[in-house]
Copies of this chain bind each other. A is one copy, B any other.
Amino acid sequence: MASSLAAVTAESRPTFSIHWILGLEMEKSGNSVDLHRPWTEMGAEKENRNKRVCSKPFHCSEEVNSPQPSSSWYVGRRPRTAFTNSQVSVLETVFQVNCYPGIQLRERLAQRLDLEEDRIQIWFQNRRAKLRRSLRESSLQLVQTTVNDLQAGNKVRDQLELTSHLLVSDHE
């Protein structure tokens, strides 16, 4: 609420400082206000993009030429959430019933498990991906098995054909 008020105060003014908005973030990048849109140069440097030497684009825009993967002062990614066994247990149970929980159920789960709603959302997305993956794999395995069985069947048939051919030849 207090932060909201501060924001509104600044927002009502047409010109506001980018430094004020970015706060501490600006200290590290200095005054350079360079755009970071790696996907505009798609074909050119795939390596740089894939490597994502700097998951914090802001600070590392100059690092495109000098990659320092192990700059540990900050990583732009949200720290990995470590779900407890109990939390996963509940989530798995709910997933069995409904793997596309709506906002109400997600909020409820967030409250009951003391997690943010978005963590729930992401968990279900990843869980569905996992299930799809396993289903794909098992169906692939089914195909493999079927192919193998067919091949085995063919071998038997070939054996039979060979035998019958020999018998026929024997008779002729």
Q: A3-B114, A114-B3 are in contact. Are A100 and B8 (CB under 8 A)?
A: no
How many monomers of this chain does the complex have?
2
- For A86, the chain B residues whose CB sits under 8 A away are 7-8, 11-12
Minimum distance in angstroms from A26 CB to a CB of chain B:
9
Minimum distance in angstroms from A68 CB to a CB of chain B:
15
Q: How far is the CA of A102 from the CA of B108 in the complex (A)?
A: 27
CB pair B112 A3 closer than 8 Å: yes
Where chain A touches its partner, the secondary structure class is: helix
Chain B, Cβ-Cβ closest to A5 = B114
CB pair B102 A11 closer than 8 Å: no
Q: How far is the CA of A12 from the CA of B85 in the complex (A)?
A: 10
Interface residues of A in 34-91 (CB under 8 A from B): 35-37, 39-40, 55-58, 74-79, 84, 86-87, 89-90
- For A18, the chain B residues whose CB sits under 8 A away are 93-94, 97
Does A33 sit at the interface, judged by CB under 8 A?
yes
Report which of B16, B84, B114 forms a contact with A1, defined as CB distance below 8 A: B114
Does A30 sit at the interface, judged by CB under 8 A?
no
CB pair A36 B100 closer than 8 Å: yes
Q: A4-B113, A37-B99 are in contact. Are A25 and B104 (CB under 8 A)?
A: yes
- For A79, the chain B residues whose CB sits under 8 A away are 103
- For A22, the chain B residues whose CB sits under 8 A away are 94, 97, 105, 108
CB pair B74 A135 closer than 8 Å: no
